[in-house]
Amino acid sequence: MADIVDIEISYIPTLSRSNIAYKDVIGVVVKESGDPVDFTVQEAVLSISTNERSKLLLTLGNGLTWNDEIKALTVVILNEQMSFVREDTQFDYHISVSWSSNQLMTTLRKGTVTAVRES
């Protein structure tokens, strides 16, 4: 079952396109014990969407990084990637992965993105 976590991301048009708008490190653990999972992420995707239409799609090597040593997924969203935000609004998001031992995708997190356009 996915964790439900709402997040806020600011888009600031006057700042450099390469500035980091959002960063999070998500430790992946076994819910019952709190121990890190025994698996390695094979694929990962983060999708920000509205009405089931994707506005931003990140994958491993493109905004998402898996650290197998600490069993954590790092999410980095750059300012330029949020340029679709024209006004303060909300979107849906989910982060899904597939493990090296299983082809079934698992949703780790989902929730609401509050996107803020700052001037």
- The domain defined by 3-117 folds into Immunoglobulin-like (2.60.40)
pTM, 2 dp: 0.91
Q: List 11's β-bridge partners, or say none.
A: 117
- Return d(Cα 38, Cα 21) in angstroms, integer: 31
The per-residue pLDDT for range 41-87, each reduced to its tens digit, is 999 999 999 998 999 999 999 999 999 999 999 999 999 999 999 99
Please report which confidence band the pLDDT of residue 96 belongs to, taking 50, 70 and 90 as the band edges. Answer: very high
Q: What is the pLDDT of residue 1?
A: 62
Parse the chain into domains and list their residue ranges: 3-117
The per-residue pLDDT for range 25-43, each reduced to its tens digit, is 999 988 888 888 888 999 9
Query: Which one has a higher pLDDT value, 27 or 1?
Result: 27
